Amino acid sequence: MQSALERKQFNLKALDVDTKTRSVKIAIAELESVDRDNEIFSPTAFDKTIAERGPKGTNEVWHMADHGWSLNSALSKFKELYKEGKYIVGISDYRDTKLWRDTIWPLYEAGDINQHSVGFRTVKSISSEDGSPREILEVTLWEGSAVLWGANPYTPVMGITKSAFKQEDVDDAISRYDKLIKAVKSGRFEEDDSLLMLELKRLQQFTIDLSRISTQPEPGSTEPVKAKDLVEMIQLESELKNTVAGLFK
């Protein structure tokens, strides 16, 4: 099953913090370097998506905080997005919001935000069987995030075992679906639905991850998944799907 939303993190500080224009220049992705997942972005992986979805296209790529597991984590859309050397670079303007004013801008000014991450979907890639890095040829870019630590609280559920799975995670996802439904019905996304699409992609990935772990045994265990556990996981997944259906009623 293909991922709806992938993330890669890079140890990259802000390239420039302009206090006069109140803008930041950041690198959200690195090209042609093998990462810890044994994957590499090709030099042209982002060309098409930047042209189509960037500031000169449909303008749907966001600068976020911690991958925005909340609509309140949106900072601003990138006013410029381009390739500079081996980096994908974005320029983002300060907004007079609580998140920018109280948290993000002071941290950028102090140089404390030293990592950035990219949220994307792989469109084309090449894998080999000899252990060579998987080359990602084309992506759909959704956002670039400012993050403080490698293990930030919004990492995907992928790889989490059933013992680490919490009912609260599903409850939180359902709550976000409910908030989205209310926002859609109130007309919040009538002029610009890019944040809606981004949040739906995140929740879609959560459902995919939930589906994956529902049939996997614990690491190192040869015991099959107990019927009771499987039924419970399927019921939770079904509950999520039923909730999102409310968006279209």
Q: What is the pLDDT of residues 200-245, one digit of tens each?
A: 776 676 666 666 555 555 445 445 444 444 445 445 555 555 555 5
Find where tokens 């559920």 sit. Answer: 157
133 in the same domain as 95:
yes
Q: Is 148 helix (H, G, I), strand (E, B) or coil?
A: coil
Q: Which two tokens stand for residue 60?
A: 């749907």
Question: Residue 41: is it exposed, middle or buried by C-beta count within 10 angstroms (0-12/13-18/19+)?
Answer: buried
Domain count, the chain: 2
Q: What pLDDT score does 8 carry?
A: 87
Determine what percent of the chain is predicted with pLDDT higher than 70: 60
Q: What pLDDT does residue 151 have? A: 34
pLDDT tens per residue, range 144-159 = 998 865 433 333 333 3
**Assigned domain for 45 exists:** yes
The neighbouring-strand residues paired with 205 are none
- Chain-wide mean pLDDT for the chain? 76
Contact 100, 94 (CB under 8 A): yes
In a domain, 210, yes or no: yes
Considering only residues 24 and 74, tell me which one the structure prediction assigns the higher pLDDT: 24
- Least confident span in 7-21, 23-37, 65-79, 184-198: 184-198
**Domain final residue pick, 147, 180, 207:** 147
Tell me which DSSP letter residue 24 carries: E
Q: What's the domain range around 62? A: 6-147
- Between CA 231 and CA 215 the distance in angstroms is 10
Say what the pTM is.
0.65
